[in-house]
Amino acid sequence: MSNAATQKRAFSAVLWDYLTTVDHKKVGILYLMGGGFFFLLGGLEALIIRIQLIKPENDFITAGLYNEMITMHGTTMIFLAATPLLFGLMNYIMPLQIGARDVAFPFLNALGFWLFFSGGILLNCSWFLGGAPDAGWTAYAPLSIQSPGHGTDFYVMGLQLSGAGTLMSGINFLVTIVAMRAPGMTYMRMPLFTWTTFVTSVLTLFAFPALTVGLFLLMFDRMFGSAFFDVALGGNSVIWQHLFWIFGHPEVYILILPVFGVFSEVLPTFSKKRLFGYSAMVFATFLIAFLGFMVWAHHMFTVGLGPVANSIFAVATMAIAVPTGIKIFNWLFTMWGGSIVINSAMLWALAFIPSFTIGGMTGVMLGSNVADYQYHDSYFVVAHFHYVIVGGVVFGLFAACHYWWPKMFGRILHEGMGKLAFWTFFIGFHLTFFIQHFLGLMGMPRRYWVFLENQGLDTGNLISTIGAFFMTIGTIVFLINIVYTAVKGEKAPADPWDARTLEWTIPSPPPFYNFKQMPLVRGLDPLWIEKTEGNGKMTPAEPLDEIHMPNGSILPLIMTAGFFIASFGFIYQTDHKAWLIALYAGMAIAIGCMVIRSLKDDLGFHISKEELEREAD
């Protein structure tokens, strides 16, 4: 048994440990905590939006604050909640699934987390410093150029920081999967979650630069007097839309592909069958990623790109239904004839299939450019993307939490509360968003502060708001479940679900070096193979030997603090040139840390053989 976990340590020691950690598991937990915090924040904003729309001509919040709410809800949920929660899972689980002791660049991993987190904090500082961004989460120019105050500046700098962090992590995962698989773990033996992590990282690598470029142009337009998007000075505001969606559309696949991977782990485990059509699933993942890069203009059908461009993008969009359909059917066939266990993780997975299919279907409807002129900017669109993002990503995150919680925290989440959270959230979700399809078809535009009485929108909006409260209750029950589990939860064995992949071969929670000896992988679902054909344990691929581990470092945090300070400098130097001091000082700190990191050799440390033998399990 690991001593560190049973010994009570001082709070400050734990804090210091997490601030300096480069361990992929701790970074993963940090991501989950950061993402979870912003998820609650975004949820609170959603609730305020729904309360404002509970009755016609409500004045719960002012119009300006409402604009800030919708902007921050979208931005927070996409960039600061969904993406980091998924990156946290990938960080924790993917190295365990391929039999690696850490990610390829542990230092970079920590830096990626701190950049994301400081970006999120920076963005939310705007609430207290004269108003949050209010140009919509898409920040379309020219609105975002003309938006007064510093709100949109915070949007630019905050997303730039967190975007850099995400990009770093993406590259890190790619190198990890290509270079650090255990002996025998060929590409076509990798679990689907690892595959989707890989493809997601490819998407991150190609999509985020477009956002970075777009944000730089916006930054220069707002802070340094350039005119990239200013039509009056010869710029072109449509370029922002293109750049944003060249990033934005792959981003939705960055969100959905990892949860496809989660379901491809959960469904086989609780159906006691191998995943149906493994190679088709891998192929479909690649196909979705490939097609995902040539569909961005379907967000812009009403801009006036012309019939030819619209048609090309419409056809490409509808083509994506094919690989997604392959996946849906493969999940159904995985369950077909299996001995199915229905627990909380499985409930979320089962609920995902019909919910996501509805979202996919409205997606194809929106993808038809002719029909889109009717749907555009109505609540129909809002209903569609909440069906795919909540019904897909959030359901997937809950399923993943229930499934991997024992592995990550050593305790099994309470089943009763898990089911209660599921049913309240599930019913609330459909109450909230199903009706919005019809609100949209009746002509309710999105992003409007109020709607008028007696236009047939009253009841629908009331139902929608009631649903939002149900979702809130579900989330609160889940939070209570977390606390309850942490205090009194059932201790988890190494393999509580009778599962199939490598992460279940090591103790829960795993020791900091993950694998004492590299496992020898004999095929897809390696643990299952050993259970059915071997003695139920992995055969080591190497003799017990010293393990080389990286040292922790505080530099990522300090470097990030430098960028954080510099961001304030960038934002406020338009008011007073004295803020340039903050800019230069912040940059100096960040670059100084880079120099230290480059010049100071840190060769890590070794865990001796004796120590490993002492920790015999």
Partner 1 sequence: MTENTSTNKINSYQKEKNREEMRKQIITFALMIFFTMIAFFAVAMGISSMFVIPLILILAIVQVGFQFYYFMHMKDKGHEFPALLIFGGIWVTFLVGVTFVTIIWW
Nearest residue (CB) to partner 1, 56 versus 209: 209
Binding status of residue 61 toward partner 1 by CB under 8 A: no
Output 239 or 318, the one with its CB closest to partner 1.
Answer: 239
- Shorter beta-carbon distance to partner 1: residue 70 or 246: 246
On the question of a cis peptide bond just before residue 268, with omega within 30 degrees of 0, the verdict is no
Q: Identify the bridge partners of residue 490 per DSSP, sorted by sequence position.
A: 412
Reported residue count of the chain is 617
Shortest distance, position 421 Cβ to partner 1, whole Å: 39
Name the one range near partner 1 by CB under 8 A: 154-162, 200-208, 260-268, 443-451.
200-208
Instruction: Please state, in angstroms and rounded to a whole number, the distance separating the CA atoms of residues 152 and 133.
Output: 4
Binding piece for partner 1, criterion CB under 8 A, among 5-13, 205-213, 450-458, 575-583: 205-213
Q: Which one, 174 or 421, has the nearer CB to partner 1?
A: 174
Q: How do beta strands 490-491 and 411-412 pair?
A: antiparallel
Q: Is the peptide bond prior to 493 cis by the omega test (within 30 degrees of 0)? A: no
What is the footprint of partner 1 within residues 453-472 (CB under 8 A)?
none
Helices (H), ranges, 511-599: 526-533, 555-572, 580-599
> Least distance in Å: CB of 481 to partner 1?
40
CB atoms within 10 A of CB 407: 24
Burial class (CB in 10 A: 0-12, 13-18, 19+), 126: buried
Q: Which of residues 141, 210, 288, 421 is near partner 1 by CB under 8 A?
A: 210
* 139 Cβ contact partners less than 8 Å away, ≥ 6 residues apart: 71, 133, 152, 155, 218, 240, 244
Size of the site for partner 1 (CB under 8 A): 17
> Which residue in this structure is represented by tokens 């650090």?
180
Gap between the Cα atoms of 42 and 74, Å rounded: 8
Among 129, 309, 353, 558, binds partner 1 (CB under 8 A): 309
Nearer to partner 1, 90 or 593 (CB): 90
Q: Which CB atom, from 159 or from 297, has the smaller least distance to partner 1? A: 297
CB within 8 Å of 324: residues ≥ 6 apart: 284, 288, 360
Of 202-210, 338-346, 410-418, 496-504, the window that binds partner 1 (rule: CB under 8 A) is: 202-210
Q: Which parts of 242-271 interact with partner 1 (CB under 8 A)? A: 242, 246
Q: Identify which of 210, 374, 171, 399 has the alpha carbon closest to the alpha carbon of residue 292.
A: 210
- Least distance in angstroms from the C-beta of 305 to partner 1: 5
Cα–Cα distance, 199 to 182 (Å, whole number): 19
Residue written as tokens 């191998």? 274
Instruction: Verify binding: residue 205, partner 1, rule CB under 8 A.
Output: yes
Binding characters for partner 1, 286-305, by CB under 8 A (x = yes): -------xx--x-------x
Our CB check for partner 1 shows the closer of 202 and 590 to be: 202
Among residues 241 and 461, whose Cβ is nearest to partner 1? 241
Residue 186: what residue type?
A: T
What are the beta bridge partners of residue 445? Answer: 378
**Minimum CB separation from partner 1 for residue 187, in Å?**
9
Site for partner 1 contains 150 (CB under 8 A)? no
Rounded least distance, CB 221 to partner 1, Å: 17
- H/E element holding 549? strand 547-549
202 binds partner 1 (CB under 8 A): yes
Considering only 5, 14, 63, 178, the residue that binds partner 1 (CB under 8 A) is 178
User: What single DSSP character describes residue 540?
Assistant: B
Per CB under 8 A, does 174 bind partner 1?
yes
Residue found under tokens 């959270």: 421
Residue 95: closest CA among 174, 30, 24: 24
Binding status of residue 206 toward partner 1 by CB under 8 A: yes
Q: Report which of 64, 211, 221 is spatially closest to residue 142, judged by C-alpha positions.
A: 221
Nearer to partner 1, 238 or 612 (CB): 238
* Three-state SS at 305: coil
Give 493's DSSP letter.
Answer: -
Q: Where do the DSSP E strands lie in 250-360?
A: none
Enter the DSSP assignment of 519: B
Give the nearest distance from C-beta 524 to partner 1 in angstroms.
20
Binding residue (CB under 8 A) for partner 1 from 239, 318, 462, 607: 239
Q: How far is the CB of 21 from partner 1 (least distance, A)?
A: 29
Q: Toward partner 1, which CB reaches closer, 367 or 392?
A: 367
Q: 357 Cβ partners below 8 Å, 6+ apart?
A: 328
14 versus 178: smaller Cβ distance to partner 1: 178
Q: Closest approach of Cβ 267 to partner 1, in Å?
A: 28
> Minimum CB separation from partner 1 for residue 191, in Å?
18
Cα angle 516-520-524, degrees, rounded to a multiple of 5: 125
Check binding of 596 to partner 1 (CB under 8 A).
Answer: no
Shortest reach from residue 544's CB to partner 1, in Å: 28
**Calpha distance 343→326 (Å, rounded):** 25
Alpha-helix runs per DSSP H in 21-62: 24-52
Q: Nearer Cβ to partner 1, position 181 or 407? A: 181
**How far, CA to CA in Å, does 258 sit from each of 89, 90, 246?**
9, 8, 20
Residue 180 touching partner 1 (CB under 8 A): no
Q: Which two tokens stand for residue 223?
A: 């802070």
Residue 558 binds partner 1, judged by CB under 8 A: no
Single residue of 44, 223, 238, 450 touching partner 1 by CB under 8 A: 238
Q: Tell me which stretch binds partner 1 (CB under 8 A): 113-121, 138-146, 235-243, 344-352.
A: 235-243
Q: Interface with partner 1 by CB under 8 A: which residues?
A: 174, 178, 202, 205-206, 210, 236, 238-239, 242, 246, 293-294, 297, 305-306, 309
